[in-house]
Amino acid sequence: MNQSIEALDRLLRGPVRWRKAPPDQGTKRRRPTLAEDLQTVARVTSRTPEVMVRISGKAKGAKHVEEHLRYITRDGELSAEDESGRLVTGRRMVKETAAAWMEGSTLNRRNNSRDTINVILSMPPGTDREKLLAAARQFARETFGSDHSYLLVRHDDTDHPHCHLTVRSLAFSGRRLNPKRDDLQAWRVAFAAACRTHGIAAEATPRRARGAVRKSKRQAVFHADKAKRSTVQKAKVQEALMAVMRPLAAPLEPDRAALEQNALVRADWNQLAEELSRASAGKGQALAHQIRQFLAEMPAAETERMQLQKQLRRHLQQQKEREDAKPQRTL
């Protein structure tokens, strides 16, 4: 099963380095056992809902910190929980919390240092909101509670149940929270585990393991796109149009790399299914069948650029058909 273990590492972890977490980030980084990995495979291939953990922004300076805490508490109307379990309610308590967080904020500060890290924890529509809050509370306490101040608030104003978790960057130990890509994936894994503890089916696998090649949009880009004023999106459309007008041009390097990675992911899933079929019966055979079904239903790899090109080709073809359908003028 050595090859299967290597395939599992690539599928479920990829570039994430499984090391001991630094003191200011309490999530434990333990390499899962083979049995735990296969349980994860079973959840992934049965399409268990994926958690969403996103850093929505960072606040810098007393004014910005207070504005953000007022935003997540709806100007003090919603109660927030801090790291000790105390409820912070009303504009006065929110203002006092923001002021307390700014005390000593110059310690270990650099020019680009931020005073808070703002995180959103979310699950798909239909998720039990009370259980989600309990899972978010557990995640926040286990990940940050021993060394960071934070406020946790649940919002019920959208179909997607979600919680806002704002963490003070400066830890009690004097360190500053500076999350990297590995940390964000570790947070996803920890939040998914907390969800399962509270009875919510949840998983936290990398996008590539699910066959996805399009990255999620950053918060600022998403809102700009929604308002139809994104210069980034306009540039992407222009680039896609140029590619459509030059059909013989070779694919761009990012597209080629994404497609190659997707092919490797599919090969790893196939290899895992083959080894499970050969090495075990019963549950192993059933899991191998589930993996093959998952692969059969996996959508074709398509980057955002490729999707834009397809949409433009369709639009240009429809435009040509409308022109061709017009009656010809005769002299």
**Bridge partners for 120 per DSSP:** 54, 164
User: For residue 14, what pLDDT is reported?
Assistant: 66
The structure tokens listed for 150 are: 């934070």
The structure tokens listed for 215 are: 């990255």
On the question of pLDDT at 161 being above 60, the answer is: yes
Its CATH architecture, for the domain 17-205, is 2-Layer Sandwich (3.30)
Give the start-to-end residue ranges of the domains of the chain: 17-205, 219-322
Structural Rg of the chain based on CA atoms: 24
On the question of pLDDT at 131 being above 70, the answer is: yes
On the question of pLDDT at 270 being above 80, the answer is: yes
Cα separation, 93 vs 63, whole angstroms? 15
Q: Tell me the per-residue pLDDT of 58-82, one tens digit each, with 9 for 90 and over.
A: 999 999 999 999 999 999 999 999 9
The structure tokens listed for 109 are: 């500060």
Contacts of 68 (CB under 8 A, 6+ apart): 57, 59, 116, 118, 166
On the question of pLDDT at 243 being above 80, the answer is: no
Cα–Cα nearest to 105, from 96, 113, 95: 113
On the question of pLDDT at 329 being above 80, the answer is: no
User: For residue 148, what pLDDT is reported?
Assistant: 96
Cα separation, 277 vs 287, whole angstroms? 9
User: For residue 293, what pLDDT is reported?
Assistant: 95
Cα separation, 86 vs 137, whole angstroms? 12
Global pTM reads 0.76
Most trustworthy range by pLDDT among 225-239, 240-254, 287-301, 314-328 = 287-301
Helix, strand or coil, per DSSP, at residue 81: strand
Q: Tell me the per-residue pLDDT of 299-308, one tens digit each, with 9 for 90 and over.
A: 877 777 767 7
Instruction: Give the pLDDT mean for 1-26.
Output: 64
Contacts of 41 (CB under 8 A, 6+ apart): 8, 11, 12, 272, 287, 291
Percent of the residues in the chain that have a pLDDT greater than 70, as a whole number: 78
Instruction: Give the pLDDT mean for 266-294.
Output: 89
User: For residue 188, what pLDDT is reported?
Assistant: 95
Average pLDDT, the chain: 83
On the question of pLDDT at 84 being above 50, the answer is: yes
Instruction: Give the pLDDT mean for 167-179.
Output: 93
Most trustworthy range by pLDDT among 151-155, 226-230, 296-300, 318-322 = 151-155
Helix, strand or coil, per DSSP, at residue 326: coil
Least confident of 55-59, 205-209, 248-252: 248-252
Cα separation, 213 vs 261, whole angstroms? 9
User: For residue 22, what pLDDT is reported?
Assistant: 47
Cα–Cα nearest to 266, from 201, 208, 216: 208
User: For residue 85, what pLDDT is reported?
Assistant: 95
